[in-house]
A and B are shown apart, each in its own frame.
Chain A
């Protein structure tokens, strides 16, 4: 899986971008034409076309975000992708990721979202049950809380509901403050992730304190070329029905 002269971080980041690019293609209904800049699979430095496991880290990292476009567009999940998802979880089981106790619960919730999303396509994944989500309330400031919600952004999908979503509904103002803070810090990656929660709330009828359309467009234009960030903005636009912009 590792490629010559590249670190696991570079390899896996490239895999995430490739998988995000494919998901973006499904979401925008232009499958096969979205090639992430600098991360084209044909680039011999970054991807081995003969390695069937090359994209598994990307699938494991993106989790439900990789399959959300099929949910949002109502298209079936190809069998090879379902198999790849199962293999990604087999290769990187939840209990071997080595996250710290402070962050392990975030991975557990993200895996829960992935499992719930894949259930819609008839695939069952064995993942640990998340707790009551009380950890998200441990943050003492809205700054720290909004960053945690950014890390949980893959849960911000229609059809998923739980204590994290209830916390988001109760704290729409903190989410908006978090987006503005991230924008002022020029942290577009975090801004896009928090904006997904605002988009989900807007779709549920909760008034958004921010105008999401120009915000998402700005993040997409100035987000630094990350396909993962573009995927986040496009998912948010689809969730709110702004996808034509």
Chain B
């Protein structure tokens, strides 16, 4: 066995120890997909706008 000469270091804080534990036990990442374009979200507004701006239907004479 190797003989180790261990230097004494300052004791770690609970935050530092907790950080080591967190990095050791890496949880899986949360899903963070880029926001997707959802055209149907504005579909109702576009439809209403189109109805309001559309020309009147021709009248019967």
Contacts and interface: CB of A to CB of B under 8 A. Distances in A.
Contacts of A97: 17-18, 20-21, 24
Contact of A185 (B21, B25, B28): B28
A18 B4 CA distance: 23
Given A61-B24, A150-B28, A96 B6 contact: no
B26 A92 contact: no
B6 A9 contact: no
Interface in B6-60: 6-7, 9-10, 12, 14-29, 31, 33
Contact of A110 (B4, B19, B24, B33): B24
Contact of A61 (B6, B7, B15, B20): B20
A91 interface: yes
B17 A147 contact: no
Contact of B4 (A82, A98, A150): A82
Interface residues of A, number: 44
B19 A107 contact: no
12 contacts: A8-B19, A12-B16, A60-B24, A61-B23, A83-B5, A86-B6, A97-B20, A106-B24, A107-B21, A121-B2, A150-B26, A189-B29
Nearest to A61: B23
A82 B2 contact: yes
A67 to B, nearest CB: 13
B29 A185 contact: yes
B21 to A, nearest CB: 4
A interface: dominant SS: helix
B interface: dominant SS: loop
B28 A53 contact: no
Contacts of B18: 97-98
B17 to A, nearest CB: 5
A48 interface: no
B4 A107 contact: no
Given A57-B20, A96-B17, A98-B17, 4 more contacts: A57-B16, A97-B18, A121-B2, A189-B29
A170 B38 CA distance: 43
Contacts of B5: 83
Contacts of A52: 7
A109 B15 CA distance: 22
